[in-house]
Amino acid sequence: MKNMDLDTRRSLATPRGVGVAYSVYAVRAENATIWDADGKEYIDFAGGIAVLNTGHRHPKVKAAIAAQLECFTHTAYQIIPYEPYVALAERLNKIAPIDGLKKTAFFTTGAEAVENAIKIARAYTKRTGVIAFSGAFHGRTLLGMALTGKVAPYKVDFGAMPPDIFHAPFPNTTQDISVADALKHLELLFKVDIDPKRVAAIIIEPVQGEGGFNPAPAELMTALRRICDEHGIVLIADEVQTGFARTGKMFAMQHYDVQPDMMTVAKSLAGGMPLSGVIGRAEIMDAPNPGGLGGTYAGNALALASAHAVLDVIEEEQLCARAETLGQRLRDRLTALKRTVPALGEVRGPGSMVAVEMNDPTTGKPDAEAVKRVQAAALAQGLILITCGVYGNVLRFLYPLTIPDAQFDRALDILANAITA
């Protein structure tokens, strides 16, 4: 069955709301390489949207899943619990950048982790209000899309959003929004929309994902920690996309001098298996009553086994340092291209969470069409790229951190050819 045939079947069998970036159908993958139904080979710079920091089918991940498969696949942890769940919680509690006694609960998707983090914060504070930021992405579930700070395509036609969700502007140099602007708006929010004593949580991505790979300035994080401490608000770091070595550290919050009260994790936690979690201060995590948290597949045994292997691989292969090395090579190449390509804008992002803006060189306005042209040119040469940004004009790069050097260099050459085409 070829790509074209499969795409015809897809259009007839699945709804258009489940959009796909390419009409390329994967049949096999290994590390940073994907082969499609037509037999063509691609370098994967999407990584399942930041899920494959340890690459496709890492041998240790495969072995861990296979070993667990010989034991059992599912019991529902809330019915018959098992040791790998407890052991992974212990490992995450140990490495999470939160002082004091911590606890972890597991779920299935990033959106599910976010929703449960909000539930926990509300149970702990006995408040309902939540503040998120413009440009944020926290999922496609009802509460998740309410928290998400982008209308199209996530909120269009889906009706009224859940109440008591508010947004403050996220600092962004390309949009002329400073930290002072963001904090001024937040203080105004407390004056005109919601009493801070009614706010349960402030949730923020240390580096915005879908919003454009915008790092939160250190000054903002310090101010949010102060505001949360002053008003008894829970500070939640959404590390679903930033976690597990992507930014050059195990977690992006390790780039800051302040700590969150809770963190959400998912994506690269389990090497392609569906697993997410909420990590937080023990007294906060214990706020919900027994039975208030969980899910039929939450903490699936196969996914837990994979996650243990992922943590081993990150440590053994020094992927945090690898992320810094690869990211610097990419930033250097993009910065050099900027000298001759006026459409290229800001190059940004820590570690290997790198992105570049594309703008109309005449007007300076965001140019989503230019990004699409680069994507198409790259795909024709065997490189898979994905985009992000409020205006859809940002190329982001989420290659596996295990990608071989020669393949990475080849990908950078393709990228340069696609940009200059």
DSSP state of 170: P
Residue 1 is predicted with a pLDDT of 85
Residue at which a domain ends, from 316, 342, 375:
316
Cis-peptide, bond into residue 163, ω within 30° of zero: no
Residue 157 is predicted with a pLDDT of 85
At 276-335, the pLDDT tens digits run 999 999 999 999 999 999 999 999 999 999 999 999 999 999 999 999 999 999 999 999
CATH number of the domain that 149 lies in?
3.40.640.10
First to last CA, the chain: 32
What distance in Å separates the CA atoms of residue 231 and residue 195, rounded to the nearest whole number?
10
Q: Residue 421: pLDDT above 90?
A: no
The percent of residues in the chain predicted with pLDDT above 70, rounded, is 100
At 242-293, the pLDDT tens digits run 999 999 999 999 999 999 999 999 999 999 999 999 999 999 999 999 999 9
How confident is the model over 36-51, as a mean pLDDT? Answer: 97
Report residue 362 as tokens. 């005449």
Q: Residue 376: pLDDT above 90?
A: yes
Structurally, the chain folds into a number of domains equal to 2
Give the type of residue at 369: E
Do 279 and 257 share a structural domain?
Answer: yes
Do 234 and 93 share a structural domain?
Answer: yes
Do 80 and 9 share a structural domain?
Answer: no
Q: Which helix (H) or strand (E) holds 281?
A: strand 276-281
φ, ψ (nearest 5 deg) of residue 340 = -120, -5
At 143-167, the pLDDT tens digits run 999 999 988 888 988 888 999 999 9
What distance in Å separates the CA atoms of residue 417 and residue 421, rounded to the nearest whole number?
6
What distance in Å separates the CA atoms of residue 31 and residue 15, rounded to the nearest whole number?
30
pTM of the model: 0.97
Give the type of residue at 300: N
CATH number of the domain that 28 lies in?
3.90.1150.10
Residue at which a domain ends, from 316, 351, 384:
316
Do 336 and 291 share a structural domain?
Answer: no
Domain range for residue 396? 3-54+318-420
Do 304 and 334 share a structural domain?
Answer: no
Do 105 and 69 share a structural domain?
Answer: yes
Residue at which a domain ends, from 300, 316, 332:
316
Do 277 and 371 share a structural domain?
Answer: no
Do 326 and 290 share a structural domain?
Answer: no
Do 137 and 270 share a structural domain?
Answer: yes
Largest CA distance in the chain: 63
Residues in the chain: 421
How confident is the model over 195-216, as a mean pLDDT? Answer: 97
What distance in Å separates the CA atoms of residue 234 and residue 225, rounded to the nearest whole number?
9
The percent of residues in the chain predicted with pLDDT above 90, rounded, is 96
Report residue 9 as tokens. 């079947």
Q: Which of 50, 106, 78 is nearest to 278 (CA)?
A: 106
Is residue 278 within 8 A of residue 120, CB to CB? The reply is: yes
Do 83 and 213 share a structural domain?
Answer: yes
Do 337 and 260 share a structural domain?
Answer: no
How confident is the model over 187-214, as a mean pLDDT? Answer: 97
Do 175 and 29 share a structural domain?
Answer: no
DSSP state of 192: H
Report residue 294 as tokens. 């969980």
What CA–CA distances, in Å, run from 340 to 70, 296, 372, 411?
56, 54, 20, 19
Residue 152 is predicted with a pLDDT of 83
Give the type of residue at 203: I
Neighbours of 153 (CB within 10 A): 11
Q: Residue 173: pLDDT above 90?
A: no
Residue 187 is predicted with a pLDDT of 96
223 burial type by CB count under 10 A (0-12 exposed, 13-18 middle, 19+ buried)? middle
What distance in Å separates the CA atoms of residue 376 and residue 382, rounded to the nearest whole number?
10
Q: Confidence band (pLDDT; 50, 70, 90) for 174?
A: confident
SS3 94: helix
